[in-house]
Amino acid sequence: MRSPAAFLRFLLARLDRRRLDREMDDEMALHLELHAEALERQGLSPSEAHRRARAEFGGVQHYREQAREARALSWAYDLVADVRYGVRMLRRSPGFTLVAVASLAVGLGANIAIFGVLYGTMLQSLAIPRAGELAALVVNTDGDPSTIFRWKDYLALRASPNAPELQGVNEMDDIQVGAGKVSMLLPIDYVDGGYLELIGVRPILGRLIAPSDERANAQVVVISEPAWTHLFARDPGAIGRRLLIKDIPFSVIGVMPASFHGVMFNWRFGMAVPHSAAATLGIPADRDYVQIVTRVASASARAAAAAPLDATLHGCCLAKMKDPTKARLALVDASRGVPYSKMDFRDDYRMLLWLLMGGAFLVLLVACSNVGSLMLARGAARERELAVRLSMGASRGRVVRQLLAESALLAALGAAIGVMLAAWATGVLIATLPAGMESSAALVEFHAKGAIIAFTIAASIACVFAFGLGPALRATREDLVSALKDRAGWRSNGRGRPIDRLLVIGQVAVTLVLVCGAGLLTATLRNLRTIDPGYASDHLLMVSLETRATGFERDGIIPLHQEILDRVRRLPGIQSAGMATRIPAFGGRTIFSAYTVVGRSLRDSLEADITAITPGYFATAGTRFMLGRDFDATDSPASPPVVIVNEAFARKHFAGGSPIGAQVRIAQINGGETVTIVGVVHDVRFGDRRSRQDPMLYLPSTQSGNWPFLELMVRSSLSPRVLVPSIDQAVESYARGLRFRNWATMEEAYNETILRERLAASLGATCALLALGLAMVGLSGVVGFAVVRRTREIGVRMALGARRSSVVWLVLRSALVMVGIGVGIGAPLAVGAGRALGALLFGIGAMNPFVLSGAAVGLMFVAVLASAIPAWRASRVDPVSSLRSD
Amino acid sequence: MALASELLPGTLELLILKAVSLGPKHGYRILLRIQEISRGALSITQGALYPALYRLEEQGLLASEWGTSENNRRAKYYRITRAGEKRLREETDGWNRLSSGVSLVLRAVTEDA
């Protein structure tokens, strides 16, 4: 066995091509000499002996070439030679190179960009050691999975026999921290003692939180690298320093690397404190939740480990549930982050991203067929060159390799530019994300990760074979010589080579699929935007007024809200203002409560959403009353309780009649007192406006108990954003320290709500436009090529009196026939693709005739444009010179 | 000169292995050796020897080193490797089976005719 160093020398020696060639020459020269000597001994003259020796040896050059090929490593030298040759050939035809590289850059760029997003969101594992083992506990109740457990339930589960080591973490929202004069908001993790150890990420400084910290109730904190940078300017002496969390001193014991983002999907890690510090920091016991993670070796081990935990959970913790038999505890894969959190958008986006990946693949297909058809044309133009090379003794494999090397060069250039395009496109995409999605942006941010590099290389190689192999084999085919002689053969077939026509037809079909898909997605977006949501979206500004984590936390927002509203209403530029616990598209919360309608015996148990609102809220939102009145100042805590219901409620219980004056009993509010219906409002559409509103009960804010927050809505005569400072000031002057969260206009809020649909429409349209552009370049090329080949025929026609217009039509007709066939093939595929879009669509079916025919007519129109230049050129053919030329 | 039969594909490699198995040789000597063993019955295009030698060397069936030839010239000497010997045995067996099979068939045809 050779030592590695010796092997390396051996390898280097072999790579020294010149030396090897020289040795081969020496060897053959010796052979010839010895043979000549032998012949001389048989009596031949020296010159005759040398001649004979050469003749009997055969073609020296030929065997040299063969011997070189026999050396396995020769591919490496050949590669260098091929690439050099390829560069020369590509530089000789810059037009071809430009179009081919641009096509590939667009096709590969789209794929790389979408793959980058797909990988970052759907495929990438957490940046922790052995991420594949990480599993999270989840309770499935009626198909509604939750990974959130009460702390005391966690303690019971952790103590259950035969269970793997469980560790709990509660990853919570931002909280104020300060060190010296520097302060910032950081998300905080309350972790059990062994949690960070289980995760296994080593701190870049100091130590992790240990079980002893938890037991000792130690006020210690592990901070993230960015926090360390911001608060301590990356001072290694930060360990042991004091960090104030909500003005309570904690001691910094460690710094986690920036790559660690916590275990929840789409989370960011700010700092971790022992769970025992939660009480100190004012987390009430009833909000003391954890997510539970563990490590198990495999999927089957997950199931085995879940069984004893399920038994424990049923034994200890489900007594309060309505139907505990429905609850099942399981361990789920958390290697890509603990699922089902409110930050986890994967279920909403999974299908869209895979569809976009498919769309990008189709774009690449069109790009490859473009390049393939260019290569075919080039192969035809280079027949003479290739025939010469083949007849000089180069093997077919060698020439095919040579042509593939050219393809590989094109693909490499295309991929390099494609990566740049992808990085740029991802940047544009991130710039369109609304504020507050920084962690999602970080997920999709473009990095040259291993997986993306591997994908790029694999896609490029696939391209080389897709567009390069066929033309290379064709250009070197056996009957080349006869094909050379038979040039007139394809000139008489005026429409160009059938393979080109097939490629164009395929491109048109694929493009139609993409254009139809984009059309359906765009129509969906328009449908969502134009549907009447039951409120007037313009000139609205909203903000959430939050008492949690402020001095007003104990009493909540209700004691403050009327005075705040009065002050806001007095501000210049404000037409009206109101508050609600939930505002469509913007956010907030409703209570889901059981209710009964007094005087009706209803068999089903009824539940409805309850929103608390102030007088003037409906007027501000622009939601119209169908019947009755709005709340007003007379609806005080002391006055008889009243309720406004929505259309859906009225329809459900009072079809045809008026609900005004009827009474309702609401379980969750005011101890089930009866309330009187005083008004009916039109339904509004919440969220992305896809679904009609369910029955809703609106209660006056003064009669609906306490709330920690209210959403303020103002309607202004100005551009709403300019009101932010004055509202801020007006509230601050009365309730200093009240938190404002999420300033947004209704347009902004709604745009954020339909982010997925907007991305679907814009990215779908981008794919469609790219494919369309590429297909038209391809069509234009093929039609142009055909015109060049038909020059003589066109000349004859014109000499015989054909008019220019009929020549133009001749060319356009051939283009339209190809597009027509492509549309015919693509239409059923487009309907299939529309079906695949399924749930993404709204207000439009997969087989919409307008979209389909619009896309077809659009393609025809663009095809005419793309053929215009070749057609014009055909009409300028001079009969005399065309007949003379060859 | 006797009518020399054309080589079946792959047999050149077998002959080279056989020639080299009798002792290390340079290229020309291998050619002479093959002609000598076959008593000139087999015709080899001399140049074709070299691609075959390089192939065998790349497959690890032959090893080579530079030495000095009979009249003091630098020559590349090939010797058989253990893998080469094994291959030679297998190929010889295979060849024997094939050729005895073929001659059996040929003989049977002659007798029946």
pLDDT tens, residue by residue, A724-752: 999 999 999 998 888 888 899 999 899 88
Highest-pLDDT range among A471-485, A855-869, B36-50: A855-869
Asked whether the beta carbons of residue A70 and residue B75 sit closer than 8 angstroms, the reply is no
Residue B113 is predicted with a pLDDT of 41
Q: How many CA atoms lie within 13 A of A702 on its CB side?
A: 16
Please state the rounded mean pLDDT for residues A398-426. Answer: 91
Mean pLDDT of A139-150: 86
Residue A391 structure tokens: 């007849």
* B55 chain-A contacts, CB cut-off 8 A: 70
Give the Cα separation of A167 and A74 in Å (integer): 57
**Is 90 exceeded by the pLDDT of residue A582?**
yes
CATH of the domain at B107: 1.10.10.10
Give the mean pLDDT of A607-628: 93
Which neighbouring-strand residues pair with B65?
B77
Does position A488 have pLDDT exceeding 50, yes or no?
A: no
- pLDDT (0 to 100) of residue A495: 47
Considering CB atoms only, which of B50, B55, B69 is closest to A28? B50
Helix axes A450-463 and A94-118, enclosed angle (nearest 10): 140
pLDDT at B5: 46
Q: How far from each other are the two terminal CA atoms of chain B, in whole angstroms?
A: 32
pLDDT at site A492: 40
> Any idea of the CA torsion for B83, B84, B90, B92, to the nearest 10 degrees?
-170
Please judge whether A30 and B26 are an interchain contact, meaning their C-beta atoms are less than 8 angstroms apart: yes
Ranges A153-162, A592-601, A827-836: which has the least confidence: A592-601
Say yes or no for a CB contact (<8 Å) between A71 and B58: yes
Is B5 a domain residue? no
Note whether A57 contacts B26, CB cutoff 8 Å.
no
- B69 Cα to chain A: minimum distance (Å): 10
Higher pLDDT, A575 or A438: A575
Whether A77 shows a pLDDT value over 70: the answer reads: no
When pLDDT is cut at 50, 70 and 90, the band that residue A491 belongs to is very low
Segment among A252-266, A293-307, A515-529, A590-604 with least mean pLDDT: A590-604
3-class secondary-structure state, position A259: coil
Q: Count other Cβ atoms within 10 Å, centred on residue A477.
A: 13
Chain B: residue whose CA lies nearest to A72: B58
The pLDDT value recorded for residue A75 is: 58
- What is the pLDDT at residue B3? 38
User: Confidence band (pLDDT; 50, 70, 90) for B2?
Assistant: very low
Cβ atoms within 10 A of the Cβ of B108, count? 10
DSSP A140-175: EETTEEE-EEEHHHHHHHHTSTTPPPPEEEEEEEEE
Closest CA to A93 of A491, A382, A387: A382
B39 touches chain A (CB under 8 A): no
Contact A815, A775 (CB under 8 A): no
- Higher pLDDT residue, A206 or B103? A206
**Which residues of chain A make contact with B28, given a CB cutoff of 8 A?**
30-31, 34-35
Radius of gyration of chain A (CA): 37
DSSP annotation of A465 reads I
Residues of A in contact with B75 (CB under 8 A): 27, 30
- Interchain CB contact of B27 with A (< 8 Å): yes
Asked if residue B25 belongs to a domain, the reply is yes
B76 touches chain A (CB under 8 A): yes
B72 domain residue, yes or no: yes
Q: Do A72 and B58 touch (CB under 8 A)?
A: yes
Quick check: A56 and B54 CB within 8 A? no
- CA dihedral angle for residue A877, residue A881, residue A884, residue A886, rounded to 10 degrees: -60
Q: Is A622 left (phi over 0), alpha (psi -120 to 50) or beta?
A: left
H-only helix segments in A445-492: 450-463, 470-475, 480-485, 487-492
Q: Residue A804 has what pLDDT?
A: 85
Model pLDDT for residues B35-74, shown as the tens digit of each residue: 887 777 777 778 888 888 888 887 778 888 888 877 778 8
Does residue B1 register a pLDDT over 60?
no
pLDDT (0 to 100) of residue A3: 57
pLDDT of A319 > 80? The answer is no
- CA–CA separation, A647 and A654 (whole Å): 10
Condensed to tens digits (0 to 9), the pLDDT of residues A503-554 reads: 899 999 999 999 999 999 999 999 999 999 999 999 999 999 988 777 888 8
CA distance A272 to A252: 10
Of the candidates B28, B54, B66, which has its C-beta nearest A34's C-beta?
A: B28
Under DSSP, the state recorded for A434 is P
Whether the per-residue pLDDT at A9 is higher than 70: the answer is no
Task: Report the chain B residue with the minimal C-alpha distance to residue A25.
Answer: B50
Q: Which amino acid is at A367?
A: A
Domain extents in chain A: 4-71, 73-124+349-485, 131-333, 497-532+754-886, 548-737
Query: How far is B55 from chain A, CA to nearest CA, in Å?
Result: 5
Which residues constitute the domain of residue B92?
11-112
For testing the chain A interface, which of B1, B7, B34, B50 should be mutated: the one with the most A CBs within 10 Å? Answer: B50
Long-range contacts, stretch B45-49, CB < 8 angstroms, 24+ apart:
B45/A56, B45/A57, B45/A58, B46/A31, B46/A35, B46/A56, B46/A57, B46/A58, B47/A28, B47/A57, B47/A58, B47/A59, B47/A60, B47/A62, B47/A63, B48/A58, B48/A63, B48/A66, B48/B12, B49/A31, B49/B12, B49/B16
Residue B4 within a domain: no
Establish how many alpha carbons lie within 13 A of residue A199's alpha carbon, considering only the half-sphere containing its beta carbon.
Answer: 28
Three-class SS of A349-371: HHHHHHHHHHHHHHHHHHHHHHH
Nearest chain A Cα to B46, which residue? Answer: A57
For A799-821, write each residue's pLDDT tens digit. Answer: 888 888 888 898 899 899 999 99
Kindly report the number of other CB atoms within 10 A of residue A65's CB atom. 17
Å between A86 CA and nearest CA of chain B: 27
**Partner A contacted by B75 (CB < 8 A):** yes
Residues shown for chain B: 113
User: pLDDT tens-digit profile of A427-468?
Assistant: 998 888 877 777 788 888 888 888 999 999 999 999 998 898
Give the pLDDT mean for A140-145.
Answer: 82
Instruction: Compare all CA atoms of chain A with the CA of B43 and give the residue at the minimum distance.
Output: A56
Can you give the pLDDT at residue A486?
A: 46
What residue of A is the nearest CA neighbor of B59? A72
**CA nearest to A52 within chain B:** B46
Task: Choose between A520 and A345: higher pLDDT.
Answer: A520
Domain assignment present for residue B65? The answer is yes
Evaluate whether A434 touches A755 at the Cβ level (below 8 Å).
Answer: yes
CB–CB of B28 and A30 under 8 A?
A: yes
One DSSP character per residue, A55-75 reads HHH--HHHHHHHHHHHSTTHH
B73 contacts in chain A (CB < 8 Å): 30, 33
Going by DSSP bridges, is the β-strand pair A642-646/A674-681 parallel, antiparallel, or unpaired? Answer: parallel
pLDDT of residue B110: 55
Task: Give B50's contacts in chain A (Cβ within 8 Å).
Answer: 24, 27-28, 63-64, 66-67
Asked if residue B89 is part of any domain, the answer here is yes
pLDDT score recorded for residue A395: 65
pLDDT over 90 for what percent of chain A? 46
Closest CA to A104 of A359, A362, A367: A367
Average pLDDT taken over every residue of chain A: 87
Q: Averaged over A342-352, what is the pLDDT?
A: 86
Distance from the A468 Cα atom to the nearest Cα atom in chain B, whole angstroms: 29
Average pLDDT over chain B reads: 78
Is B2 a domain residue? no
| A182's tokens | 């520097």
Average pLDDT over residues A679-695: 90
Whether residue B64 lies inside any domain: the answer is: yes
Residue A130: strand, helix, or coil: coil
pTM confidence score? 0.75
Residue bearing the bigger pLDDT, A785 or B6 = A785
Per the CB < 8 A criterion, the answer to whether A187 and A172 are in contact is yes
CB pairs A-B closer than 8 Å: 65
CA distances to A93, A772, A784 from A467, rounded to whole Å, are: 18, 19, 20
Q: Which residue has the higher pLDDT, A267 or A286?
A: A267
A77-86, A136-145, A147-156: least confidently modelled range: A77-86
- Model confidence at A701, pLDDT cuts 50, 70, 90, reads very high
